[in-house]
Structure 1
Amino acid sequence: MPTLLEKAELFRALHQRPGAFIIPNPWDAGTARLLAAIGFEALATTSLGLANTLGSTGASLREMIENGRIIAEATDLPVSVDLENGGGGDPKAAAEAIRLAAEAGAVGGSIEDATGNRQQPIYDFTLAVERVQAAVEAARSLPFPFTLTARAENFLYGRRDLDDTIRRLQAFEAAGADVLYAPGLYDLATIRAVVSALRKPFNLVMGFADPTLTVAQLSEAGVKRISVGGALSRVALAAFLRCADEMKNRGSFTFVRDMAPIMDLRQAFAQASL
């Protein structure tokens, strides 16, 4: 089992090598082990995927941290934890979330500028930057190089202000964030505009981007890290709902033809556990 320091250094190296890499988003130990067995090099948790597992519209910071612990312990891969807004608006909350994520075995984590308040969905610019600064200080105080991702959430909340999004990302970069992230960017031209305005690595989430884009195209555009957020969870649940609908409304079970073979699953789980 690699140490946290070894995982952290490996995670940093992925961001420094040429080209983009995919960091998929499992939501439990089983999906983490399947992704590890397929050959992915790092994992990131998804708060949406976790909420789906809990049958809830959201997850608490405590639940996100515990989910990060479960996934970090499931494989030898580096894990970054989705921390949403860190559990509160105070910069101290963001800092504490980073400390808790590291304590749970994560070597990276993300803090976003979304408030969780529908009436005022995005933190004021100054507060948003102060929260990232506090998270950076917490990350730098750790005994290993924790990779802090700072997220500008404008596009997810109907604020399609590209200039403000870039301004926020540049301020987060100046505050010391290691990776920048703006979910909701869709087309390649917009993605290029954002990436070209930054010096640090940029994470693109494909759950909201043009699904025809490829790793090669995104890499050429300067994207360094590609995630999918809750997309894998939602696709899995879409299949679940189709199966349930067939049983309830058609009285048939043809979906069993598409089951993953038991031995394939067991081999993948065993491989990831070695």
Structure 2
Amino acid sequence: MTVHADQDDHLVTLTIDRERKLNALDYPTIDALLAELDRADADDSVRAVVVTGAGHRAFSAGADIPSLARSIAGGPERALREIVRRGHALTRRIEEFPKPVIVAVNGLAYGGGCEIVEAAPLAIAAEHATFAKPEITLGFPPPFGGSQRLPRHIGRKRALEMILTGDPIPAAAAAEIGLVNAVVPAGELVDAARALAARITRHAPSAVAACLRAVTRGVNLPIDEGLAVEAASFAATLHTDGVRTGLRRFLDRPAASGGSRPVGLPAHGPGHTA
């Protein structure tokens, strides 16, 4: 097994375990990640997923080069089927996953490893982590979605500098440009990812899924279309237990003065001025 799944309460941690190969993504590993994501999606007890790599050197060095070379040698149709379609399937699954996926980057994230980071809604990096788009050194552009997602996330010029040079950037720079949410000491990485998951999963699953759906589907649309996605996501939550419970909890809270006025509403009520 090259992917290990460990569940602790509502959190599943998926660990890419090809440490001697810097956790490179060969085809069985990609397929195993997809299968574990399917299992986590189908299990209602799972509220969030953390993806990390075995060891401390690498989150993932990207696509497994010997596998990739064999596919390319088989011609364009085979290469597109085995490399591009499989890579797109993985990053799209992560990007559109209905539960929060947090990548814990425990070392270098190059090529396909970086593309997983780009696809994930949230990412935390260890201080020693580095990020790179080295596909150009092999003679081709990023094939797992990186040529499209990275410019959308960090801007065209910053993305093109990474894609066209292949040069790595450190974790601090990745945080500065928005590729990761935070940078922490290596020994605190998994705990930080778990803490972030806990801050999210304290909220209703229906609300979390709706927020993920609204942002993921709307972020690349014109604003009017994005607002329509937001409206549909809002409407989909209205008859859920999450809304009923959330509103009841808020409305039943006593006011700071000891009355029954809901917290956050002005004492003089709507339509009046102080």
For normalisation by structure 1, the TM-score amounts to: 0.32
Q: Which has the higher strand share?
A: 2
Question: Whose relative contact order is higher, 1 or 2, with alpha carbons under 8 Å and at least 6 apart?
Answer: 1
For normalisation by structure 2, the TM-score amounts to: 0.32
